[in-house]
Amino acid sequence: MQHRPPTEAPPATASWSDGSTPTAEEFSRRRQARPVDPVAARGVRGILSKGTLGMVSLGPGRREQEYRHDVDLVRRNFGGLRQVTVVNPKGGAGKTVAVLLLAMTFGQKRGGYVLAWDNNETQGTLGMRAQQDFHTRTVRDLLRDLDHFQGAQGRVGDLSQYVRAQGEGMFDVLASDESATAGEMLTAQSFGEIRDVVSRFYKLIVVDTGNNVRAENWQAAIDATDQLVVTMSARNDSAETASRMLDHLEQHGRQRLVRQAVTVVSMPPSRRHLDVPAITRHFAARTRTVLLTPYERFIDSGEPIRYSALSSASRDAWLKVAAAISEGL
């Protein structure tokens, strides 16, 4: 019987043409899938793609490309805990609504680990505009029980006794004292101690502020801010109060925080007697960007805000705001 010569074994080591030895990391790259060509999911293009069961596949249009870019910005890794602080000393300037809608947007697109915190020095309304939970505890209850979280003590399940889960919004709310007869105002130390605790459990904190720029907890929130958001209604009094607040911050060494701020102008039901271009020009010259958000009757009702009840125009507008904020984080 004729015997075949034994097959020659491969060499013990292989090398690339340049003489280097392949690494495990290079070997693992074979599993990296080729990026799928984008297919439209929104608008007429998306309807056509779905209606033909993929037989007709169109790429996303310009608006959808912008939408996807904004979502990618919101989902980016910030590299650590970040705090967004929403300010305007005038009441009715849309701070609380902005905090809720930003927390909702970040929660929806990032998948949680977002806290909306009412740092009002007296009676705040964040807890009233949020969805209700199984308890009504506030920041003062957490402050009283901070010793439960000292050192390595305290888990996220323990913190749920003090924050209010927002269900579909994918974020939590830490409400301020809702009593009209609240005790002493929160101090800078109190703010710092509470922030130390909540920073263990959240990646992004959106802080609502009161109307007193001299309050200790207002100043402490500014000290911890990574991204400032200035809100106002499209009215001269709201805009002027915000502008004077920026003067105050600049005079106290906060020039960079002001220059990098995002300005959000909320539109009223009617534009009559409004000088929106003048407001936009002024704040565009002082802050990084100015964005307008549409009037939403549902928001104006004063009822608790639900993400699913927002119009698509509002959701897209607040996604734009959240994307602009993400660029600064």
pTM of the predicted structure, to 2 decimals: 0.82
> Can you give the pLDDT at residue 56?
46
Q: Decide the pairing of beta strands 164-165 and 172-174.
A: antiparallel
Q: Residue 273 contacts by C-beta under 8 Å, 6 or more apart in sequence?
A: none
CA distances from 1 to 4, 6, 96, 118, 188 (A): 10, 15, 91, 90, 94
Place of tokens 């994307």: 323
CATH of domain 77-327: 3.40.50.300
pLDDT-derived band at 6 (thresholds 50, 70, 90) equals low
Alpha carbon distance 215, 320 (integer Å): 31
* pLDDT score of 229 more than 50: yes
Segments making up each domain of the chain, as ranges: 77-327
DSSP summary character for residue 46: H
pLDDT-derived band at 287 (thresholds 50, 70, 90) equals very high
Whether the Cβ atoms of residue 79 and residue 117 lie closer than 8 Å to each other: no
Structure tokens at 258: 């002001």
Q: Which of 119, 292, 151 is nearest to 217 (CA)?
A: 119
Least confident of 114-118, 123-127, 194-198: 123-127
